[in-house]
Amino acid sequence: MSDSPPTDPLAGSPFLAACRCEPHDRIPVWFMRQAGRSLPEYLAIRGTGSILEAVGDPDRATEITLQPVRRYGVDAAILYSDIVVPVHAIGFGVEIKPGVGPVAENPFRSAADLERIRPLEPDVDTPYVLETVRRLVAELNPHGVPVIGFAGAPFTVASYLVEGGPSRDWLKTKSLMHGDPDLWHQLMGRLADMAIVSLESQIEAGARSIQLFDSWAGALTVSDYRQFVMPHSVAIFDAVADLGVPRIHFGVTTGELLSSMGEAGADVVGVDWRTPLSIARQRVGTDKALQGNLDPAIVNAPWPAVEAAVRAVVAENAGHPGHVFNLGHGVMPSLDPDALKRIVELVHSLDPGGSTPPRP
Ligand code: CP3
Q: Using one digit for the tens of pLDDT, what is the confidence trace for 251-298?
A: 999 999 999 999 999 999 999 999 999 999 999 999 999 999 999 999
Mean pLDDT of 335-343: 97
Nearest CA to ligand 1 atom 21: 330
Calculate how far, in angstroms, residue 78's C-alpha sits from the geometric centre of ligand 1: 12
Indicate whether residue 33 lines ligand 1 (CB < 6 A).
Answer: yes
Indicate whether residue 50 lines ligand 1 (CB < 6 A).
Answer: no
Q: What percent of the chain has pLDDT over 70?
A: 97
| Residues catalogued as catalytic | 33, 37, 46, 82, 160
Which one of 45, 62, 94, 96 would you pick to mutate in the ligand 1 pocket, going by the greatest count of ligand atoms within 8 A of its CB? 96
Q: Please check whether residue 56 is in contact with residue 88, taking contact to mean a CB–CB distance below 8 angstroms.
A: no
Sign of the Cα pseudo-torsion (131, 71, 248, 137, in order):
positive
360 pLDDT higher than 50: no
Q: Please tell me the distance from the alpha carbon of residue 162 to that of residue 170, in angstroms, as a whole number.
A: 9
357 pLDDT higher than 50: no
Q: Where are the domains of the chain?
A: 27-349
Sign of the Cα pseudo-torsion (75, 81, 87, 93, in order):
positive
Calculate how far, in angstroms, residue 216's C-alpha sits from the geometric centre of ligand 1: 13
**229-241 pLDDT, tens digit each:** 999 999 999 999 9
Indicate whether residue 202 lines ligand 1 (CB < 6 A).
Answer: no
Ligand 1 atom having least distance to the Cα of 100: 33
Q: Please tell me the distance from the alpha carbon of residue 92 to that of residue 115, in angstroms, as a whole number.
A: 9
Nearest CA to ligand 1 atom 48: 98
Nearest CA to ligand 1 atom 27: 101
Mean pLDDT of 328-350: 97
Calculate how far, in angstroms, residue 212's C-alpha sits from the geometric centre of ligand 1: 14
Give the pLDDT confidence score for residue 37 in this predicted structure.
Answer: 78
Calculate how far, in angstroms, residue 37's C-alpha sits from the geometric centre of ligand 1: 9
**32-41 pLDDT, tens digit each:** 999 877 899 9
- Residue among 84, 82, 86 nearest 123 (CA): 86
Calculate how far, in angstroms, residue 7's C-alpha sits from the geometric centre of ligand 1: 35
Indicate whether residue 201 lines ligand 1 (CB < 6 A).
Answer: no
**12-48 pLDDT, tens digit each:** 999 999 999 999 999 999 999 998 778 999 988 887 8
User: If phi over 0 gives left and psi between -120 and 50 gives alpha, with beta otherwise, what is residue 195?
Assistant: alpha
**310-325 pLDDT, tens digit each:** 999 999 999 999 999 9
27-349 under CATH 3.40.190.10, yes or no: no
Mean pLDDT of 53-59: 96
Nearest CA to ligand 1 atom 29: 101
Average pLDDT, the chain: 95
Give the pLDDT confidence score for residue 259 in this predicted structure.
Answer: 98
Ligand 1 atom having least distance to the Cα of 250: 22
End-to-end CA distance of the chain: 41
The model carries a pTM of 0.95
